[in-house]
Amino acid sequence: MQEVLNVIPPDCGYDDWLKVLMGLHSHFNGSGVGLELADVWSSRGTKYRPSEVTSKWCSFQPGGGIDWGTVCTLARQNGADLSAIARRHK
């Protein structure tokens, strides 16, 4: 997962940034593990505000239509070869 996230710039547009957070929230069922991944990813950006990640995370509801597949799509749009990533982690 970290390798997929590394391809998506944390300073992407707000809508994409939100999709990454929502996709992680969905995948991790809102757990602290997902929040930590979201925060670490977001903290690499110049726009990072620590409280914003947590605030958004807590506002998400299950079933919002954004999931890990959305994050993978964003990674592909940023040049990720998901097949190669999967092969490295088998």
Q: pLDDT, tens digit, for every residue of 8-65? A: 999 999 999 999 999 999 999 999 999 999 999 999 999 999 899 999 999 998 878 8
> pLDDT tens across 70-83, in order?
999 999 999 998 89
Per-residue model confidence (pLDDT) at position 89: 84
3-state secondary structure 22-71: HHHHHHCCCCHHHHHHHHHHHHCCCCCCHHHHHHHHHHCCCCCCCCHHHH
Position 1 confidence tier, pLDDT thresholds 50, 70, 90 = confident
Per-residue model confidence (pLDDT) at position 71: 96
